[in-house]
Structure 1
Amino acid sequence: MTTGNQSSGTDFVLVGLFQYGQMNTLLFAVIAILFSAAVMGNATLILLIRLDIRLHIPMYYLLSQLSIIDMIYVCTTVPKMAANFLSDTKTITFLGCEMQTFVLLSLGGSEALLLGFMSYDRYIAICHPLHYPILMSRKTLFMVICAWSSSSTNALVHTLYVFQLPFCGSQLINHFFCEVPSLLPLVCQDTSRYEYTVLLSVLLILLLPFMAILASYARVLLVIFRMSSGRGQTKAISTCSSHLIVASLFYVTALSTYSRPHSLHAPEEDKVVAVFYTIVTPLLNPFIYSLRNKEVLGALRRLLER
């Protein structure tokens, strides 16, 4: 396949998140620690949910899917960034860039939809606890299939379209991984019409689930404020607020990147923003959803006692 002056056999060059230097080496070490913590945290949560029968309920099935996504997500970006930083070679093949773009779009879309479904799960658990087993047991598998299939289809369409465009400009990608916004500046034709389709996808896959999360938490807070127990109110608000903050961090940073036309992007700013939705939120998710959860902590204690 030939795309303008760019062929499928030509490598791209990733500028990376860091350049060589004492301060950047320290930042690289910090990212490496965060990456390790994210992988270990998500892997531990997946293991606990799989091994402990008490966690075999819809809520934790959705959470295990989120952990799988987060673990693959960080493994798709950070190891390549590390390899490029530690070696003189900063290239990525055309096919490798294409695959990375597809995987990240697919995983990011799945996470956005799953977070929305998880907020609905919590809404049912708090507002309709007696109906929770019946309502969620029927819907959980459908939610997961819907999230994976719709996001993968969306990712495939955008990836195939972008990589058939003529890349006849620079081969230098000013980012630490391949994604659609970082590739569009390399295209030597007008992409304004295509960017409207990107915006439409953003509205459906990012903005709508985010608005659904805000609406569900608003309903949950109304129920919480009607509680007679002040201690119960404080605990519920603390848990919900932590979930909402981390979810908002993912949605706001992803929306910031994908909702703007490429002419308004600043590469250095985009790289910093990308750290939040590719590394920080996958790191925070397992800890936010487990450290405040007595059932998960109980499962961890039982596993350690074996």
Structure 2
Amino acid sequence: MGDSNQTSPGRFFLLGLSNVLYLQVICFIMFLIMYITALSGNILLILVVKMNSKLQTPMYFFLTNLSLIDISFSSNIVPIVLINTVSEDRSISLLGCAVQMYIHMWCGGTECILLAIMAYDRFVAICRPLHYQTIMSKTICACLASISWTVGLGNSLIHTMLTFQLPFCKFHVNHFFCEMPPFFQLSCKDTHTNETVMHVAGQIIIMCGFFLTIVSYVPIIFTIFKIRSSQGRQKAFSTCTSHLTVVSVYYGTIMFMYLKPRSTYSPEIGKIVSILYTVVTPMLNPIIYSMRNKDVKDTIKIKLFRQSNQGKIPSANT
């Protein structure tokens, strides 16, 4: 009876990260900590931006969008991973798998474009400060954010539809969530068309986003060299290095997953790479991009902690 369930065409079976018990425990704890950190960090950033009028700038408008993406990214994948780690039944319905892939691709494509937009925003702020308010007006920022979400949505819709039109002969997915490259290995049909579409879309969205980010940062770095204060120059370099590190990890892992030919794809390496951009990057983004900012830290200390402490002070009438 169990074997018949394992071959049901209506469900897929996620093999997860490991079948070794102690590794499952380690993975569960690790994923739970990273998920709580990512969720709390990104929610905190959104609240802080809303509470402090000084932070309602184009940069923090885009960071709020990035936080929404990261919350969706992690929440789409990590809870299912946690459940599957402690559950004997690791099956997922065809519809559930399609929805997970759709949200994952939507968030991934949107983040690629948004990171490039954020780099451009920093370029304008540092290299064209006198024209910043005009170039990065509220209307333009809203349009740029809408474009990133719309392109990500359209890209995701195309890939998800093409993937789930394939006939599948296998239903055991050697991965911890529904992602395209492992799914191509389950198909009875040649997936050359799907892989071509994936590579073309990846080159347009991922490579263009990465290229625009680098192009934006080159003049930023040259401008930083002109800063006379060594302390100011060091601080600016520290910020740029942090940003570029996160961007490089994200783009690098996405390129590895979606631009490599199928013949060189390794399921085990693919799992590790997927962890980096689905769990680690959403956890690091709010810390790297904003938690080191003085205005953010002051808002957390003054408004959030002061309000929570005031709530604990007993009334004089009690």
Shift of the 39–229 alpha-carbon distance from structure 1 to 2, 3 Å rule, reads: same
Counterpart of 1:4 in structure 2 is none
Counterpart of 2:208 in structure 1 is 208
CA contact (8 A) 1:20 1:85 kept: no
How big is each residue's C-alpha offset from its partner over 1:175-223, in whole Å with a ceiling of 9 and x where there is no partner? 0000111111111111113211111110111111111111111110000
Shift of the 248–133 alpha-carbon distance from structure 1 to 2, 3 Å rule, reads: same
Counterpart of 1:116 in structure 2 is 116
CA contact (8 A) 1:38 1:71 kept: yes
CA contact (8 A) 1:62 1:114 kept: yes
Instruction: State which drifts further: 226-235 or 248-257.
Output: 226-235
Q: Find the aligned partners of 1:19 and 1:243 in 2 and give their Cα distance.
A: 36
Counterpart of 2:294 in structure 1 is 294
Q: Find the aligned partners of 1:90 and 1:27 in 2 and give their Cα distance.
A: 15
Q: Find the aligned partners of 1:235 and 1:27 in 2 and give their Cα distance.
A: 36
Alignment pair present for 1:66 and 2:73: no
Equivalent position SS for 2:297: helix
Counterpart of 1:181 in structure 2 is 181
Alignment pair present for 1:153 and 2:154: yes
Q: Find the aligned partners of 1:295 and 1:134 in 2 and give their Cα distance.
A: 24
Per-residue deviation, 1:82: 0.8
Counterpart of 1:25 in structure 2 is 25
Per-residue deviation, 1:24: 3.1
CA contact (8 A) 2:15 2:172 kept: yes
Counterpart of 1:144 in structure 2 is 145
Structure 2 runs not aligned, ≥5 long: 1-6, 308-318
Counterpart of 1:49 in structure 2 is 49
Q: Find the aligned partners of 1:141 and 1:194 in 2 and give their Cα distance.
A: 33
Q: Find the aligned partners of 2:25 and 2:175 in 1 and give their Cα distance.
A: 17
Q: Find the aligned partners of 2:112 and 2:240 in 1 and give their Cα distance.
A: 17
CA contact (8 A) 2:14 2:173 kept: yes
Q: Superposition RMSD on alpha carbons, in Å?
A: 1.4
Residue pairs, 1:99-138, within 5 angstroms: 99-137=99-137, 138=139
Amino acid corresponding to residue 141 of structure 1 in structure 2 = A
Alignment pair present for 1:92 and 2:92: yes
CA contact (8 A) 2:9 2:171 kept: no
How big is each residue's C-alpha offset from its partner over 1:102-155, in whole Å with a ceiling of 9 and x where there is no partner? 000000001111000000011111111121112111421111100000110010
Amino acid corresponding to residue 247 of structure 1 in structure 2 = V
Q: Which has the larger radius of gyration?
A: 2
Counterpart of 1:270 in structure 2 is 270
Per-residue deviation, 1:298: 2.0
Please give the TM-score of this superposition, normalised by the length of structure 2: 0.91
Q: Find the aligned partners of 1:295 and 1:125 in 2 and give their Cα distance.
A: 17
Counterpart of 2:163 in structure 1 is 162
Instruction: State which drifts further: 49-58 or 60-69.
Output: 49-58
| Runs of 4+ more than 2 Å apart | none
Per-residue deviation, 1:8: 10
Q: Find the aligned partners of 2:187 and 2:86 in 1 and give their Cα distance.
A: 29
How many residues align? The count is 299
Amino acid corresponding to residue 33 of structure 1 in structure 2 = I
The percentage of counterpart residues that share the same residue type is 38
